[in-house]
């Protein structure tokens, strides 16, 4: 029978149980962040690398070696990226005094312009838009990522134990909960497929946008071009607003170091690049497979950003995918799951 019926089909006891579970979960997420966050990262990494590990296992015949090769590759790539990122950040920091001088010159030039007898009053923005503020923005984002690397070892330890438990856990679950085994396996399989679809699509789009953005900034001579490309890659994992926010600092730097027409050209190209990857290429890659309402995604990102900061905003969408799959798997909570998609299935389609 279809899961339609809305909230009328939910018993009061079910609603109260969900409310209590949500309240306890929020408290745990906040107060046990240092333990739960690396565990969540480890679970998502396991679901993400599992298909590739299965392929390596089929070729080389050893599951631990397959997972080890993938984890080692990721660690090596992150290590070299971090070295380049640190060097580029250091170069940008060294240029801050000179950029401040150019900013004051640009502000003085703007104040000297008169249009129909009126001049520009820049007093309202000079205190807000400074090179120091741009540097603080970059340092804050990198600081959030650096704090993540502090407990990256914990996440890797969790991942190791999850890999070791993956072969025996299904058998134990089947022995303990034989009636629920099919549902649990379905949730795991659908979660893995959904997360792989989202991460591969988003990573492809984010990488393409970051590479093209970095190349443009390098050609225009924008300081810290590799830094802003990396921030663009990370911020693009935040739906709808991340990519646009990431373009603001390089645009401001463009108006400082470039001539007005060149700065306007850079502005137009960066916005066109963001819209090309986010508005045209990404829908072609992912279609409607994520199928979560935009307002739901924004609320999810806002909640996880409040609970876990930048890392929570990045992890919010994969966790929303798992939440939607879990809600769909139980007839009692399926009406809630039907409220989440942007294109819900009708009873005839199920």
Residue pLDDT, tens place only, 104-155: 777 777 666 666 666 655 555 555 566 666 666 666 656 655 555 666 778 8
Model pLDDT, residue 231:
84
Please give the C-alpha separations between residue 345 and each of 3, 336, 342, 349, in angstroms, as whole numbers. Answer: 10, 13, 10, 6
Please tell me the predicted confidence (pLDDT) of residue 5: 47
245 vs 166, more confident: 245
Mean pLDDT in residue range 155-176: 77
Phi and psi torsions of 119, nearest 5°: -110, 160
Residue 280: burial class (beta carbons within 10 Å; 0-12, 13-18, 19+): exposed
| pLDDT bucket at 4, cuts 50 / 70 / 90 | very low
CB 257 within 8 A of CB 100: no
User: Are 319 and 185 a contacting pair, CB within 8 Å?
Assistant: no
Residue 306 has pLDDT above 70, yes or no: yes
Q: What is the pTM of this model?
A: 0.70
Which whole-number Å values give the CA distances from 43 to 46, 259, 341, in the listed order?
A: 5, 49, 24
- CA atoms within a 13 Å half-sphere pointing along the CA-CB vector of 79: 6
Q: For residue range 31-84, list pLDDT tens digits in order.
A: 888 888 888 888 888 877 777 777 777 776 666 677 777 778 877 887 788 788
| Residue 168 DSSP class | T
Average pLDDT for 201-208? 84
Using alpha carbons only, give the angle 233, 235, 238 rounded to the nearest 5 degrees.
125
- Rounded to an integer, the average pLDDT of 248-276 is 86
181-220 and 225-235 are packed helices; what angle lies between their axes, rounded to 10 degrees?
A: 150
Q: What percentage of residues in the chain have a pLDDT greater than 90? A: 3
For the record, the structure tokens of 50 come out as 């599992």
User: Which neighbouring-strand residues pair with 119?
Assistant: 114
List pLDDT tens digits, range 16-35.
777 788 788 888 888 888 88
pLDDT band at 323 (very low <50, low <70, confident <90, very high): confident
Separation between Cα atoms, residue 24 and residue 243, nearest integer Å: 33
Ordered by start, the domain boundaries in the chain are 32-290
pLDDT at 2 over 50: no
Q: Closest by alpha carbon to 132, among 103, 86, 96?
A: 96
pLDDT at residue 332 greater than cutoff 60: yes
Residues in the chain: 350
Q: What is the mean pLDDT of the chain?
A: 75
In this prediction, residues 291-299 reach a mean pLDDT of 79
Backbone angles phi, psi at 118, to 5 degrees: -110, 145
The pLDDT assigned to 265 comes to: 92
* Residue 91: per-residue pLDDT: 79
pLDDT classification of 87: cutoffs 50, 70, 90: confident
Burial call 92-128: b when 16+ CB within 10 Å, e when fewer = beebbeebeebbeebbeebeeeeeeeeeeeeeeeeee
């Amino acid at each position: 029978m279809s899961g339609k019926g809305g909230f009328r089909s939910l018993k009061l006891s079910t609603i109260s149980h969900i409310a209590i579970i949500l309240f306890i979960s929020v408290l745990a997420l906040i107060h046990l962040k240092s333990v739960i966050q690396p565990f969540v990262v480890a679970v998502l990494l396991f679901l993400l690398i599992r298909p590739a590990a299965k392929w390596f296992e089929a070729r080389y015949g050893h599951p631990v070696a397959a997972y080890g090769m993938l984890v080692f590759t990721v660690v090596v790539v992150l290590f070299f990226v971090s070295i380049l990122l640190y060097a580029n950040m250091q170069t940008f920091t060294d240029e801050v005094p000179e950029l401040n001088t150019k900013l004051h010159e640009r502000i003085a030039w703007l104040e000297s312009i008169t249009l129909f007898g009126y001049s520009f009053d820049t007093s309202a923005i000079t205190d807000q838009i400074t090179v120091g503020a741009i540097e603080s923005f970059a340092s804050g984002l990198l600081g959030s990522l650096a704090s993540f690397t502090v407990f990256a070892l914990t996440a890797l330890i969790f991942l190791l134990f999850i890999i070791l438990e993956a072969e025996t856990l299904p058998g134990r679950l089947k022995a303990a909960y034989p009636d629920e085994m099919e549902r649990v396996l379905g949730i795991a399989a659908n979660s893995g497929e959904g997360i792989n679809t989202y991460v591969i699509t988003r990573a492809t789009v984010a990488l393409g946008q970051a590479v093209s953005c970095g190349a443009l900034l390098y050609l225009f001579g924008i300081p810290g071009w590799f830094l802003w490309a990396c921030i663009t890659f990370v911020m693009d994992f935040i739906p709808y607003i991340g990519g646009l926010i990431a373009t603001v600092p390089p645009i401001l730097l463009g108006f400082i170091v470039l001539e007005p027409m060149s700065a306007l050209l850079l502005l137009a190209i960066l916005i066109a690049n963001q819209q090309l990857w986010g508005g045209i290429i990404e829908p072609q890659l992912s279609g409607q497979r994520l199928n979560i309402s935009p307002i739901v995604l924004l609320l999810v990102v806002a909640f996880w950003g409040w609970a876990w900061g930048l890392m929570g905003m990045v992890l919010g969408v994969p966790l929303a995918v798992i939440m939607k799959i879990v809600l769909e798997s139980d007839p009692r909570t399926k009406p809630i799951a039907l409220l989440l998609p942007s294109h819900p299935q009708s009873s005839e389609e199920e």
